[in-house]
Amino acid sequence: MKTVKDYIRTIPDFPHEGILFRDVTTLFADPRGLRLAVDQMLHPYAGLRIDKVVGLEARGFILGGAIAHQLSVGFVPVRKKGKLPGPTLGESYTLEYGEAAVEIHEDAIAGGERILLVDDLLATGGTAEAGIKLIERLGGTIMGCAFIIDLPELGGRTRLEGMGMDVHALCEFEGL
């Protein structure tokens, strides 16, 4: 029986030499693989009340939409700065090569709503931390953070757990 990890291909030297890119598009393209990933991402949160799913740009939108559908709840995107049309809150974070920012609509989450944060990959945790801060600024309560892949050497899980987050990843890959 195939695991989620079996559906993910590795592309060496992308986007830069020395990087092993973990490509989830092969997982998404396979109906069994996608169903397996969505079901396994939901499993730890079965029985909990979740009001909304927040997906981080961009592959988190694919997963977040599917998970929100399964839960019969709303979906909220956290997008790169300047991509949302209405009034937004923003949060900057650092990358290994600079700084970036993400935004959420000011009215996307009501105080007290229970949120599941999802994305495809947990590396350093910078994007997820920025998303968490935005959700908390809007008064949301984060029930968990779910990812397909964790790259443990980059410390994202430790970073998010240090913020008090419940972190669930379907598989791990060593290296960058």
Q: Which residues are catalytic?
A: 59, 96
Listed in order, strand segments (DSSP E) in the chain are: 9-12, 20-23, 52-56, 74-80, 88-95, 98-105, 114-122, 141-150, 167-172
Degrees (nearest 5) of the Cα angle 135, 34, 170? 60
Helix axis angle, 59-71 to 31-42, nearest 10°: 70
Which has the closest alpha carbon to 44: 115, 150, 160, 145? 145
**Could you tell me which residues are beta bridge partners of residue 9?**
23
